[in-house]
Amino acid sequence: MKIRTWPFTIRSPKKCFLLGLLCWSLLAIPLTAQMGGYGRRGFGGGNYASTAQQGADYGMASMMRAQGYQNLQNSEAAQNYQTAQSQQIDNRKKWTDTYFDMRKTNRKARADEAPSRISHEDAIRLAKSVAPPRLSSTQLDPTTGHIQYPLVLQDSIFTPYRSELDSLFAGRASSGSGLQIKDFQAIRTTLTKFKEVLKEHVQDYPSSEYGKARVFLNSLSNEANFPAS
């Protein structure tokens, strides 16, 4: 190998290597001085070890710092988790308490607004007070079962219903007792149809006469609840 440099020539490789090392050393000295040099804190003033033992100590310290930081992070995470769990339990308890408080309040409000229960005797008195008046013996003969209808109900359009009721009440009077269930239901059915037809012709009669006819039919329906006397 032959390397030419100016103004002379170096033929030996060993000499060439030594010369290069010398040149590098000369260049490195000023650079090292500018960067703070080598020392116990390392190149350029950094935190580097100058011996193997010092390097091991630095490594151990770094590892311990990292482990301590990790333990701190884990502890904070555990505390945050416990806080979140506690908050969640508190929220569930508050929601449950609120739910049952609302149900209790609702039941009390409904109980306060509900009408008071009446006794059996009060129910009987109330039913009698709203029941239509009973028919006199001239309106319904208890012996023969003959029915004396008001003038409006004597209209020919009501003939089928009058005939049916006359037959049912005549049978009631002849038996001398209350109606059988089938006869009772037949009277109620016939009277319901009677009222519907009367309502359809409400414009054909004076209001006062129409009112009397409705009250009469209601009373006749009420008589079916009593035995013939």
Domain that holds residue 101: 55-115
The pLDDT of residue 102 is above 80: yes
Q: Under a CB-based contact definition with an 8 Å cutoff, are residues 226 and 178 in contact?
A: yes
Residues 163 and 212 in one domain: yes
What pLDDT does 3 receive? 46
Residues 139 and 111 in one domain: no
What is the percent of the chain where pLDDT is above 70?
64
Question: Considering 84, 115, 146, which residue would you say is the last residue of a domain?
Answer: 115
- In a domain? residue 89: yes
- In a domain? residue 190: yes
The pLDDT of residue 162 is above 60: yes
Distance between CA 102 and CA 109 in Å, rounded? 10
Work out how many domains the chain is built from and give that number.
2
Residues 219 and 139 in one domain: yes
How remote is the C-alpha of 185 from its chain's centroid? 47
Residues 161 and 215 in one domain: yes
- In a domain? residue 196: yes
Q: For the chain, what is the mean pLDDT?
A: 75
The pLDDT of residue 103 is above 50: yes
What is the percent of the chain where pLDDT is above 90?
31
- In a domain? residue 101: yes
- In a domain? residue 141: yes
Min mean pLDDT across 44-48, 211-215, 217-221 is at 44-48
Average pLDDT over residues 105-110: 81
Average pLDDT over residues 151-158: 95
pLDDT in tens, 25-56: 444 444 444 444 444 444 444 555 567 677 66
- In a domain? residue 88: yes
Nearest to 55 by CA among 33, 63, 195: 63
Residues 159 and 212 in one domain: yes
- Give CA torsion, residues 141, 145, 146, 150, to 10 deg: 80
Average pLDDT over residues 108-112: 76
Which residues does residue 3 pair with via DSSP β-bridges, in sequence order? 10
Question: Considering 67, 87, 115, which residue would you say is the last residue of a domain?
Answer: 115
Average pLDDT over residues 184-201: 94
Residues 219 and 161 in one domain: yes
pLDDT in tens, 49-84: 567 677 666 676 777 777 777 777 777 777 777 787
Residues 148 and 205 in one domain: yes
Tokens 């490789």, residue located: 13
- In a domain? residue 125: no
What pLDDT does 172 receive? 86
Min mean pLDDT across 47-51, 146-150, 165-169, 187-191 is at 47-51
- In a domain? residue 49: no
Question: Considering 115, 150, 184, which residue would you say is the last residue of a domain?
Answer: 115
Min mean pLDDT across 36-40, 78-82, 117-121, 182-186 is at 36-40
Predicted TM-score (pTM) of the model is 0.45
Residues 196 and 142 in one domain: yes
